[in-house]
Structure 1
Amino acid sequence: MADNATLHYISSFFLVGIPGLQDFHCWIGIPVCLLFSLTLLGNSIIIIPIKLESSLHQPMYFFLCMLAMNDLALASSIAPKMLGIFWLDAHWIDFDICLAQLYFIHTFCIIESALLVAMAFDRYVAICIPLHYTTLLTTTMVIKMGLATVGRAIFLVLPGPFLIRRLPYYTKYVINHAYCEHMAVVKLASANTHVNRTYGISVALSVIILDLGLLATSYLKILQVVFRLSSQHAHSKVLGTCAAHVCTILVSYTPALFSFLTHRIGKKVPPSVHIIFASLYLLVPPTSIPWYMVSRPRRFVTE
C-alpha cells in the first residue's frame, strides 16, 4: 500500500444504480426520463416568457427564472447518467467526473434552498409590508440576492471534492447508488474519513437549520398578518399566493431530509428505498416549478 495518500489506485467508480432492483432498471428509467423531459420542457416554458416579456421583469418572476435555470442544471447533472445506467448499462464513471457530478449536485441543491428562502422573503414583503415592496426588492437587490445564493453554495461545497481527493482509494470502487453522492463516495475510502464526515454533516445542518429557520420565520409573519384580516375572501386571497410556494418547499425538503437522516441513522432502511428517495428529491422538485407559476396569480406579484 502506497505511502502517498494522494495517490488513487482507482481511476473510476462503478455506479450500481438501485441495489436489489437491477432487473427493473429498464422500467425505472421510464419515470426518470419522463421527469427529466418535464423538467426541460416546463422550466424552458418559464424562462423564455420571463426573458421576452418586459411586464414579467419583476422580483418574483426573476426568482422563478433563477429557480428554473437552477433546476435545469440540477436535473441535467444527474438524469443523463442515471438513464445511461438504467438503459445502456453505462455503470462506470471516471473519478474526476464523479467528483464534478458530486460538486454540481450539492451546489445546485444549496442554491435551490436559498432561492426558496428568497421567494419566501418576497412573499413576506409583498404581504406584510406591501408599500415598501418596490423600494426594497429592486432589480439590483434581486441580483445581489441571486449572487449571494450562488456564492454561498460555491463556498460551502468547494472543499468537498478537495477533501475527497486527499483520500486513498485502493480496492473499493463500487458505489451502491445511482449517482455520485458525497457520503457514498467517502465511505469507499481506504482511510479515516472523520474530517469528510464532519464537513458533510456540518454543511448539511447549517443549510437546513438556517434556511428552514428563515422560511418558518417568513411564513409565521405572513400568518400573523393573515389572521388580522377580517375578510374570509382576503384570507383565501393571501393564502392562495403562498400555497404553491409552500407545496414546493415541502416537495423539496421532505425527501431531502429523509435521505439525509437515513444516511446517518436509518441503518434498517433498505438501500433501494434510500436511493429512490435520494433520486426523487433531485428529480421531482424541478418538475413542480411550472405548476408553481401556473397556480400563482400574476396580480399578487406586487400586491
Structure 2
Amino acid sequence: MRRAGLRALLAYALLLGFTLLFLAPVLFMLVASLKPNEQVLAEAGTLRAFFPDTVGLDNYRAVFERVPFELYLASSLIVNGLIVGLGLVVNAFAGYALARLRWWGRGAMLGLVLAVLVIPFEAVAIPLFYQLSWLGWRDDWLVQAIPFVANPLAIFLFYSFFLGLPRELEEAARVDGAGVLRTFFAIVLPNAKAAFASVAIVLFLFHWGMYLWPLLMTTSEAVRPLPLGIASFYTLPPLQWGDIMAFGVLMVLPVVLLFVVFQRWFVRGVASTGVKG
C-alpha cells in the first residue's frame, strides 16, 4: 500500500511538473501583458517574471488605440463562424452518408477522405491560391472560409460517432414511415450533441490561428483576421512587448472561453462511441 501510494504521488508530481511546463509560456504572456513595457524583457528568464511589482491595463488600452483590433476580431469571428456553422452541416451529412447509407463507391469515398486527411494544407495552398485568383475571388470573408467547410477530420469524427449509434433507433423511425432526412433530424441529431460540440471546437481551434491562407488571399485591413493583425502589429514602431503580449492574450481568450464552456461536451464527444444511459 505504501509503495502504491508513493507511485501515485510520483505520478501526480510528474503530471504537475508537465502541466506547469506547458502553462509557463501562457502565464508569462498573461503576466507580461499587465506589466509596464520596460519590465517585460528585463525580468524574463527569472521567477520575478511571474510576480510583477506593478500591474495595469495600459497595454490593453494601447492595443485598441494603435490598431483596429475590433475589425480583426470581427473578421476572425465571421470567418470561423462560417467555417464552423457550414462545416457542421456539410460534414455531418457526409459522415452520416458514409456511416449509414449504402451507395456505390462508398468505400472508395471513405478511403479518399482518409487519404486527404494526411495531406497538409500547405501542399495545396499555392494551387488553390492560383485557382481562386484566376476566378477573381479574393479579399473577402467567404474566400477565407469556403475552402475549409468540408473537413476530412470532421467527416471522420462524425463517421466514427454515427457508426456507434444503435441501428435500432433508425429502424424504428423508418418503420413509422420516416425518410432518411426526417430520421437524421428527428432521431440522429438529438443523440449527437456531443459529437457536434467536439467537432465545432476542433474546427474552431484549427482555423482560429490560421495565418498562411489569409496572408495569401487578403490585402485590405477590413477583412484581415487576428493572426495577420498581430503580425502587422509586431512591425509597428515603437516595438512594445507589453502591447504585443496584451494582443496575444486577447487573441487566445476566445479560444479558452469556448473550450471552458463546451469542455464537458468535448470530452463526451471524443470518448463516446454510442448512446449511453
TM-score (norm 2): 0.32
TM-score (norm 1): 0.30
